[in-house]
Structure 1
Amino acid sequence: MSPKADAIAEAVLSCFDQLPVKRKPAIRDNGLHEWVPLSGIVAEKAGKFECLALATGMKCLPATKMASANGAVLHDWHAEILAIRAFNRYLLDEIINSNDSILLPRNKASSNPGERSTQAYVVDPAVKLHMYCSEAPCGDASMELTMGAQDDETSWDLPQDQPHDLPGRAYFSRLGIVRRKPARNDAPVTLSKSCSDKMSLKQFTSLLSSATEVVISPENAYIDTVVLPESQFSDVACQRAFSATGRLSALENRMWDTSHTFQPFTIATTTREFQYSKRSVSSRAAKISASNLAAVWTRAGLEESTINGIIQGRKLGTSKSASETSRRLMWAAAERAMRTLAPEDELHQELFSRDYESFKSNPVLDVRRRVKGDVWRLALTGWLRNEGDTSFSLEL
Structure 2
Amino acid sequence: MATDTSLADHIAQCVIDSYRALPKRGKPTSKGPGKEEWTVLAGFVIEDTRPTTSERFTCIALGTGLKCLHSEQLRLFGDAVHDSHAEIVARRALVVYLMNQLQLSVATTPCETPVIFSLQPGSTKYRFGGDGQLQLHLYTSQCPCGDATVESLKTAEDSDSNEQPQLKRRRVNNGVIRGHQDFGSLGTLRLKPGRADSIPTLSMSCSDKIARWNAVGVQGSLLAQLIDPIYLSSVVVGDLYNWQSIDRAINQRVTSALLDKQLPDGYRSNRCTIEQTTVVFERSQTAMKNSTASSSNDEVVTADSSIYWYSGATSSVALVNGQRQGAKIRRGECQTRKLWPDICKLALFHKYRELFPQSPEVSTYRQEKDQATEYQAAKACLLESSEFRSWVQCPKEYESFDVAGRAQPVAKDEGDDERYSKGTSSFGKRHTKTHSLCKRCGNRAFHNQKKTCASCGYPAAKIRSFNWAVKAKRRKTTGTGRMRYLKTVNVRFKNGFREGTRKAATPAAKTN
1:135 pairs with 2:138: no
Contact 1:52 1:299 in 2 (8 A): yes
Q: Could you tell me which of 60, 63, 85 is aligned with 2:68?
A: 60
Contact 1:140 1:237 in 2 (8 A): yes
- Aligned equivalents of 2:91 and 2:186: distance in 1? 25
Query: What is the CA distance between 1:46 and its match in structure 2?
Result: 1.6
Contact 1:144 1:237 in 2 (8 A): yes
Give the equivalent residue in structure 2 for 1:102.
115
Contact 1:169 1:181 in 2 (8 A): no
Query: What is the CA distance between 1:123 and its match in structure 2?
Result: 4.0
- Aligned equivalents of 1:348 and 1:217: distance in 2? 22
Give the equivalent residue in structure 2 for 1:298.
310
- Aligned equivalents of 2:176 and 2:284: distance in 1? 30
- Inter-CA distance 123–46: structure 2 relative to 1 (3 Å threshold): closer
Contact 1:123 1:217 in 2 (8 A): no
- Aligned equivalents of 2:211 and 2:175: distance in 1? 21
Query: What is the CA distance between 1:329 and its match in structure 2?
Result: 0.3
Q: What whole-Å deviation, never above 9, does each CA across 1:13-64 have from its counterpart, x for those lacking one? A: 1100101112321112233111000000000012711100000011111112
1:70 pairs with 2:91: no
Q: Give me the CA root mean square deviation.
A: 2.4
Query: What is the CA distance between 1:72 and its match in structure 2?
Result: 0.4
Give the structure with higher Rg (CA).
2
- Inter-CA distance 395–227: structure 2 relative to 1 (3 Å threshold): same
Secondary structure of 2:191 counterpart: coil
The correspondence of residues 113-192 of structure 1 with structure 2, limited to 5 A, is: 119-120=125-126, 122-124=128-130, 125-151=132-158, 166-192=177-203
Structure 2 gaps, min length 5 = 51-55, 169-173, 293-297, 406-512
Which amino acid counterpart does residue 304 of structure 1 have in structure 2?
A: V
- Aligned equivalents of 1:132 and 1:165: distance in 2? 26
Contact 1:211 1:334 in 2 (8 A): yes
Secondary structure of 2:67 counterpart: coil
Contact 2:146 2:205 in 1 (8 A): yes
Give the equivalent residue in structure 1 for 2:277.
270
- Inter-CA distance 184–321: structure 2 relative to 1 (3 Å threshold): farther
Q: Share of identical aligned residues, percent? A: 27
Contact 2:211 2:254 in 1 (8 A): no
Query: What is the CA distance between 1:257 and its match in structure 2?
Result: 2.9
Query: What is the CA distance between 1:143 and its match in structure 2?
Result: 0.7
Give the equivalent residue in structure 1 for 2:502.
none
1:312 pairs with 2:293: no
Query: What is the CA distance between 1:184 and its match in structure 2?
Result: 2.9
Give the equivalent residue in structure 2 for 1:333.
351
1:361 pairs with 2:370: yes
- Inter-CA distance 82–253: structure 2 relative to 1 (3 Å threshold): farther
The correspondence of residues 206-245 of structure 1 with structure 2, limited to 5 A, is: 206-218=217-229, 221-229=230-238, 231-244=239-252
Q: Could you tell me which of 93, 97, 103 is aligned with 1:90?
A: 97
- Inter-CA distance 52–61: structure 2 relative to 1 (3 Å threshold): same
Contact 1:204 1:262 in 2 (8 A): yes
Secondary structure of 2:137 counterpart: strand
Query: What is the CA distance between 1:254 and its match in structure 2?
Result: 5.5
Query: What is the CA distance between 1:214 and its match in structure 2?
Result: 2.6
Structure 1 gaps, min length 5 = 112-118, 158-162, 339-343
Give the equivalent residue in structure 2 for 1:382.
390
Q: Could you tell me which of 377, 381, 389 is aligned with 1:370?
A: 377
Number of residue pairs aligned between Structure 1 and Structure 2: 367
- Inter-CA distance 96–79: structure 2 relative to 1 (3 Å threshold): same
Give the equivalent residue in structure 1 for 2:456.
none
TM-score under structure 2 length normalisation: 0.67
Give the equivalent residue in structure 1 for 2:400.
391
Structure with the bigger RCO (C-alpha within 8 Å, sep 6+) is 1
- Aligned equivalents of 2:361 and 2:70: distance in 1? 31
- Inter-CA distance 144–326: structure 2 relative to 1 (3 Å threshold): same
1:20 pairs with 2:20: no
Q: What whole-Å deviation, never above 9, does each CA across 1:283-314 have from its counterpart, x for those lacking one? A: 11231110011101111215211000010001
Give the equivalent residue in structure 1 for 2:462.
none
Which amino acid counterpart does residue 403 of structure 2 have in structure 1?
A: L
Contact 2:180 2:195 in 1 (8 A): no
- Aligned equivalents of 1:270 and 1:165: distance in 2? 31
Contact 1:96 1:336 in 2 (8 A): no
Secondary structure of 1:166 counterpart: strand
Contact 1:166 1:382 in 2 (8 A): no
Secondary structure of 1:216 counterpart: coil
- Aligned equivalents of 2:191 and 2:68: distance in 1? 10
TM-score under structure 1 length normalisation: 0.86
Contact 1:139 1:182 in 2 (8 A): no
- Aligned equivalents of 1:107 and 1:57: distance in 2? 37
